[in-house]
Amino acid sequence: MPRHAATLTHRQAPLVCVVDPDAASRRRVATLLGSLGAAVESFATARAFLARLPRAMPVCLIAEARLPDMSGLALLQELRARGLGIPTILLAADADVGAAVEAMRAGALDFIEKPLIDRALVTQVAPILEDDGHRAH
């Protein structure tokens, strides 16, 4: 099904979803990704995003590690449970190694400490956008 959805979005700008309780942070990431050519949808909570999911399938998910209703880790695990292999990048304002490793073990694509996001984010997301969601698994 992801393939299908991806084919559908091929003609339009690829969709990236941002989940972050902090509005300023959401805006920042949205602007950054927008400049890469992505269409961005932002959500303040994990549930809001999950609710949106079946209809809008992003090629990439950017989520804050600490969400008010669900940890970023839990979100990852939920996506995996649903069989949705959406490439996910976790952002953390307050990062520690343990959380990072856990996130990676749960299948995150990357785990980025917040003050340093710009370059790392671009490095990770740009290829995804180029591939347009067609990633070999």
Partner 1 sequence: MKEKPATVFVVDDDDAVRTSLRLLLKSVGLPVETYASAQEFLDGFDAERAGCLVLDIRMPGMSGLELQQRLNEIHAIVPIVFITGHGDVPMAVEAMQHGAVDFIQKPFRDQDLIDRINQALEKDRDNRAGLKERDAIRRRMQQLTPREKEVLDLVTQGKANKVIAGDLNVSQRTVEIHRARVMEKMAASSLAHLVRMVIEAERTAAP
- Chain residues binding partner 1 by CB under 8 A are 92, 95-98, 100-101, 104-105, 110-113, 116
The residue type at 53: L
Whole-number minimum distance, CB 74 to partner 1, in Å? 18
**With respect to partner 1, which residue has the nearer C-beta, 10 or 105?**
105
CA angle 41, 46, 51 (to 5 degrees): 70
| Nearer to partner 1 (CB atom), residue 83 or residue 98 | 98
- Shortest Cβ distance from residue 104 to partner 1 (Å)? 3
Residue among 9, 18, 41, 42 nearest 132 (CA): 9
Residue 93: both structure tokens together: 């304002």
**Whole-angstrom distance, CA of residue 53 vs CA of residue 64:** 17
Q: What is the nearest approach in angstroms of partner 1 to the Cβ of residue 100? A: 5
Residue 40 or 91: which CB sits closer to partner 1?
91
